[in-house]
């Protein structure tokens, strides 16, 4: 092979052995989730917070500095998911119960969910990655009506097509608004469409927004599957 030619990629295919579980990637995902769940439960919420304390301090400082440098301006990105076999009403009913119940279903939706729990004054505390940064922030809750800022958002979809809208500011414990979320759901002939928009400070590097769009895809896919399988 000439020195300047790229070698073909190495591939590994499962021919026989396991009788179920899907592909090798599926098997790895199963064991990764089981291992992660074990560590979460062994450490507990406070153990995770203690373990991540330095990361959270650094991540929150990044968000605060980005918000201040952006002077209240945000950049939006949207992930769109198409679901078949489940209505938006059934999904949102499940979500409401999940957010009102324990953390298990909320944490299980993404490997980088560390804390998802009710906070003070009706806010909901989330500890998760924002891009590469582990951050602890609050949101107003998924059950609220779209707030005034969402009414002017370019991402706001027609009410007739997406009647289920929820939004929230994302803010630090000191009140600094570091982002926003706007989720919109509309039924289709065989399911529903979810339009999931996140707003991050304009001075954030591009990978922060990109990774949160990926984050949305993972967590909402898993929540939708959980809603369909657990009811």
User: Which residues are 185's β-sheet partners?
Assistant: 164, 194
| 224: nearest Cα among 102, 95, 77 | 95
Q: Which residue is listed with tokens 């919109």?
A: 184
Mean pLDDT of 152-166: 92
pTM for the whole thing? 0.91
DSSP state of 102: -
C-beta of residue 204 within 8 angstroms of C-beta of residue 66: yes
Spatial separation of the C-alpha atoms in residues 180 and 182, rounded to whole Å = 7
* pLDDT value, residue 131: 94
Name the band, by pLDDT with cuts 50, 70 and 90, for residue 82. Answer: very high
Mean pLDDT of 30-35: 96
Q: Would you say residue 197 has pLDDT above 60? A: yes
CA–CA distances in Å: residue 143 to residues 9, 69, 132, 182:
47, 30, 28, 12
Mean pLDDT of 139-148: 63
Q: Would you say residue 3 has pLDDT above 80? A: no
* pLDDT value, residue 121: 78
């Amino acid at each position: 092979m000439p020195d300047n030619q790229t070698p073909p990629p190495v591939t590994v295919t499962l021919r026989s052995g396991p009788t179920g579980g899907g592909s090798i990637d599926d098997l790895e995902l199963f064991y990764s989730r089981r291992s992660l769940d074990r560590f979460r439960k062994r450490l507990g919420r406070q153990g995770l917070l203690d373990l991540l304390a330095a990361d959270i301090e650094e991540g929150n400082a990044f968000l605060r500095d980005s918000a201040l440098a952006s002077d209240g301006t945000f950049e939006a990105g949207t992930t769109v998911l198409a679901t078949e076999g489940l209505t938006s009403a059934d999904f949102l009913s499940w979500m409401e119960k999940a957010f009102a119940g324990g953390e298990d279903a909320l944490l299980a939706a993404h490997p980088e969910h560390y804390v998802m729990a009710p906070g003070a004054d009706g806010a909901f505390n989330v500890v998760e990655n924002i891009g590469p940064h582990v951050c602890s922030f609050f949101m107003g809750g998924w059950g609220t009506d779209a707030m005034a800022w969402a009414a002017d958002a370019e991402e706001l979809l027609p009410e007739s097509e997406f009647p289920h809208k929820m939004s929230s500011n994302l803010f630090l414990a000191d009140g600094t608004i570091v982002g926003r979320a706007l989720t919109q759901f509309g039924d289709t002939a065989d399911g529903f469409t979810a339009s999931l928009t996140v707003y991050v400070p304009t001075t954030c590097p591009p990978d922060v927004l990109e990774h949160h769009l990926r984050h949305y895809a993972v967590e909402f896919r898993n929540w939708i599957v959980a809603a369909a399988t657990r009811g």
